[in-house]
Amino acid sequence: MLEPTAKLSGGSVEYAVLDLADLASVRAGATSILSKHPKLDVVLANAGVMSNARAGAPIQRTVNGQELTLQANHLGHFLLIHMLLPALLAAPAGRVVVVSSELHRKAKSSGPAGASGSSTSAGAQGLTDIHPGGSGATASPKWLTRLGAAASQTSSSAPAASATTTGPAAAAPASGAPVAPWATPPPPACPLSGMQLYCISKLFNLWFVSALAARLPGHVTANAVTPGWVPGTSLGRDAPWLARVLYQNVFPLLPITVSVPEGARRVVAMCLGEAEGAVRGAYFSRGQQAEPSPEARDMAAAEELWSLSEAAVGISPGTYVPSGGGDAGAAAAGHGTAPAH
């Protein structure tokens, strides 16, 4: 699909296959890219998923034991950008661009009826109150570990044989032997809907960008962008058939939606535009710098998510930016500040 455009501009297209829902695949894909491209000017984190699961449905688990949406939309990119940073740091001016969404505003630090002004990262008091039909905090880094731990329960909680059982049923399966389907408990229920998970993942994108921008040297920037509501893509491919028809054929006709070419133009501007490259830790919407939600500006939450993400993908604290990458940009990092030179 990209080849015709590349030929018109005199460029070429190369592919590296990786699955954001599989961290081993991310590492392999990044290694393949680095072997061919020791210098990279831009890394665009654009891929994502949106589940149509209802609240209370079983948690969708990745091979790494994480909740699917939060891994594909955040953790996979977190690891991929870490691995590609050496090539970005080797470029004269590198850019990290993460595609977020205005839906990040739907992730709140308290429930609809809540009036608390507590910090998002301070504990998200309503975290345990989320349930179908209930309310509570959705803007919390702790969803990463809460859902990850819940998703992993299935593989670690198979019932053990009773010590008093006799006869053939007493024989436990040999190590490594497959467990009968009826002996494996069903996945635990997810207290969030697919849409809520998507909104949280888009908030995670903004927290990631803020924390990353504070760690990068001055010649590498990190910013986030929303292309707008672009229903002409395949993001809603897992929706029921009627919703897919509306999403692909009716919604694109609405004046509040954005065409695929216009959405792509906004993202490309973040990768190549001069003004867009002059700021760091910023969020762009409708082609211009915008103020994200109050929750997105919670740097304590951003730092907490950073620590949880490092642990989830196996990165030692303080080693995300390669040695020598420095923190020259830290003093200039923030929402919409100019990079240090």
Instruction: Look at residue 308 in the predicted model and tell me its pLDDT.
Output: 97
The CATH number of whichever domain residue 107 belongs to comes to: 3.40.50.720
Instruction: Look at residue 31 in the predicted model and tell me its pLDDT.
Output: 97
Q: Does any domain span residue 169?
A: no
| Count of the separate structural domains present in the chain | 1
* Full domain range(s) for residue 291: 3-113+131-152+181-332
Q: Does any domain span residue 173?
A: no
Q: Does any domain span residue 171?
A: no
Instruction: Look at residue 160 in the predicted model and tell me its pLDDT.
Output: 38
Strand order across the 288-290 sheet: 42-45, 94-99, 220-226, 283-285, 288-290
Q: Does any domain span residue 212?
A: yes
In order of 62, 102, 249, the CA distances from 24 in angstroms are: 12, 31, 37
In order of 104, 105, 177, the CA distances from 101 in angstroms are: 6, 8, 44
pLDDT block averages, 10 residues each, the chain of length 341:
76 90 97 96 93 89 94 98 98 97 88 42 42 61 87 51 37 53 71 92 98 97 86 64 65 70 86 92 94 96 97 96 63 48 35
Q: Is 326 left (phi over 0), alpha (psi -120 to 50) or beta?
A: left
Instruction: Look at residue 229 in the predicted model and tell me its pLDDT.
Output: 66
Q: Does any domain span residue 59?
A: yes
Instruction: Look at residue 182 in the predicted model and tell me its pLDDT.
Output: 62
Beta carbons within 8 Å of 250's beta carbon, 6+ residues apart: none
Neighbour count for residue 103 (Cβ, 10 Å): 18
Q: Does any domain span residue 20?
A: yes
Nearest CA to 128 out of 186, 181, 199, 192 is that of: 192
Instruction: Look at residue 219 in the predicted model and tell me its pLDDT.
Output: 96
Q: Does any domain span residue 126?
A: no
Q: Does any domain span residue 275?
A: yes
